[in-house]
Structure 1
């Protein structure tokens, strides 16, 4: 199970892949442990079968991001009669170019608009085109930064070729490859052609750089846009979008596991101990999310870490008093501060006012 996870986050470290299923409120329902070199998309069918075997074919909707989905997975879920709501690859935006430029958008959130679209293949599916101003600003800022870096690097290489300081064709190709790799977000916007001119001592390299304005304009038009795909018979795009956005609860659950609950690194070498470590973290996550829901219902936000830090001031002490027949155990609890007392009252937690024999 702990095997070399080639091509994933840490290629040189043994890893495990964890599949986590949560409710739409973010409460953990189930988890499964996979080999570390499994890509996310290969775990979808297995997770669906595991959930159906454990809990039956309930009237559930499988909400997954685009990293979990392939056409094979979609076909698998359709054959099982499962409902799904999934993200799609960015390349699919090309099929909805006219809808992107059109009107009839519906605001679902400040800065976010959606539009219902029919399936381009005529299938019994619904596509929801979404665009976010905040997401577009972020994407374009990143793109422009990479464009500037790539253009500067390519111009420098071209200048060196013109001055005769760069004559080796293979070296030039390698440098161009590294530049495109480092600035991959902007790589598709440029066409770079290297040719050899002259002969003998007069041999030079000519570097032709062309930036595709058509592709850049498409990046501007489609920036901040994404498409949701579903077979859920729901006509309101706002409802579909809100259900998909609940995936942020799953992402938050993974962040909590990684940072607050310390699921990694896993130092164990044996499979049973690795699984036990993950189980303890899963149970901790269930308690953490329950505390979040408790705090939310009490109007205290959703940051358990702050509450736990405040609760550290509460101490419990057991005093053993020898008596004739037996030893008496007396439990005393420290008096909380005024601020903490208010928090506890909001959560309807009442500490004992006096020592108690247990």
Structure 2
């Protein structure tokens, strides 16, 4: 697992949702199945349940399952595909008309779309430039740099510390593990090993420097969409790909908002029941969010709960002159934000 937990078994929950985010089909798969390997069977299963003209079917997928093998398989079956390119393209030119289209993402930030040409020119490629994504990637890069350099500093501290790792081979091995831990950032570093001249079997220190800072920062916020359909415009291609955002939103709500995982059960039937109740809860959540989205409100479930939790049910108890206990229960007045949600759902305050 991603958490490196060898003591816990994995369950894979597969969901098929429509564009409003409602679940059409669900199934539980083996935990040791890689995403790319499960894609062909999923497509065949869905095609049997939803008979349609194969040539009009577009399979939209993220980079995780868009292997060359899967793309070839999808084409052989007669389907079309749209995905994120798994590699950052280098040898490409802009299309002849040099046209760029500007669209807005979910946060109302600008994104630029440009059609590009490649050497083999087999597929249709769209360059996506997102300033907000560039900021996120730059911030993540800075974090990885700090962590990688901290690892290298610990190695140097161990060399100078009593009882620390000093043997040349052991230090190189330890540095190799740090490089393996942060491969995306380590490739930009030049690492030098300085031997201890007085004690040749020991390391004196490990030096490092960044080879090319501009290379590290280049390409942030730029990625490519790839499709075998050339008749779609830039805007339509982007809108089709954005259907995948609803799936990501579903995952976020199940994992974070509804705490579907981890599952603390020892038996299969209890784990199945846990998932079943989680999906029932998701139906309630998505019904409310779908109604709110039609009224222009697209906040997540945690934000809806936060706004509505400002209204409380207050219980007041007291005794009358006869010694009887009187209990009154009243709702507090909803805040302005809570009233807006009530109004959009056509509910009483």
Question: What TM-score does the superposition give when structure 2 sets the normalisation length?
Answer: 0.74
Query: Hey, what's the Cα distance between the residues in 1 that align with 2:150 and 2:348?
Result: 65
* Structure 1 residues 280 and 54: alpha-carbon distance in aligned structure 2, compared to 1, 3 A threshold: farther
Structure 1 residue runs of 5 or longer lacking an equivalent are 1-5, 315-333, 352-358
Per-residue deviation at 1:261?
2.9
* Structure 1 residues 11 and 67: alpha-carbon distance in aligned structure 2, compared to 1, 3 A threshold: farther
- Whichever structure has more helix as a proportion of its residues is 1
Per-residue deviation at 1:227?
1.2
Query: Hey, what's the Cα distance between the residues in 2 that align with 1:193 and 1:76?
Result: 45
Higher relative contact order (CA 8 A, sep 6+): 1
After superposition, where does 1:80-229 map in structure 2 within 5 Å? Answer: 80-89=77-86, 91-96=87-92, 104-109=99-104, 110-123=109-122, 125-151=123-149, 154=152, 167-194=166-193, 196=195, 201=199, 205=203, 207=206, 209=208, 211-213=210-212, 216-229=213-226
Residue aligned with 2:346, SS: coil
Query: Hey, what's the Cα distance between the residues in 2 that align with 1:35 and 1:267?
Result: 18
Query: Is the CA contact 1:114–1:128 (under 8 Å) kept in the aligned structure 2?
Result: yes
Per-residue deviation at 1:74?
0.8
* Structure 1 residues 118 and 81: alpha-carbon distance in aligned structure 2, compared to 1, 3 A threshold: farther
1:73 and 2:57 aligned = no
Residue aligned with 1:136, SS: helix
Aligned partner of 1:321 in structure 2 is: none
Per-residue deviation at 1:241?
1.8
1:27 and 2:22 aligned = yes
Moved over 6 A (4+): 158-163, 338-342
Query: Is the CA contact 1:192–1:209 (under 8 Å) kept in the aligned structure 2?
Result: yes
Question: What TM-score does the superposition give when structure 1 sets the normalisation length?
Answer: 0.73
1:292 and 2:289 aligned = yes
* Structure 1 residues 264 and 310: alpha-carbon distance in aligned structure 2, compared to 1, 3 A threshold: same
Matched length: 319
Q: 1:283 aligns with which of 276, 280, 290?
A: 280
Residues 74-106 of structure 1 show CA distances to partners (whole Å, capped at 9, x for unaligned) of 1111112222211122x342344x559xx7543
Structure 2 residue runs of 5 or longer lacking an equivalent are 315-329
Query: Hey, what's the Cα distance between the residues in 1 that align with 2:118 and 2:88?
Result: 11
For the aligned residue pairs, the C-alpha RMSD in angstroms reads 3.9
Per-residue deviation at 1:224?
1.2
Structure with larger Rg: 1
Residue aligned with 1:122, SS: coil
Query: Is the CA contact 2:114–2:127 (under 8 Å) kept in the aligned structure 1?
Result: yes
Query: Hey, what's the Cα distance between the residues in 1 that align with 2:89 and 2:127?
Result: 9
Residues 178-236 of structure 1 show CA distances to partners (whole Å, capped at 9, x for unaligned) of 432454442110233436575x74666475645321xx433333111111111234432
Per-residue deviation at 1:341?
7.5
Per-residue deviation at 1:16?
0.3
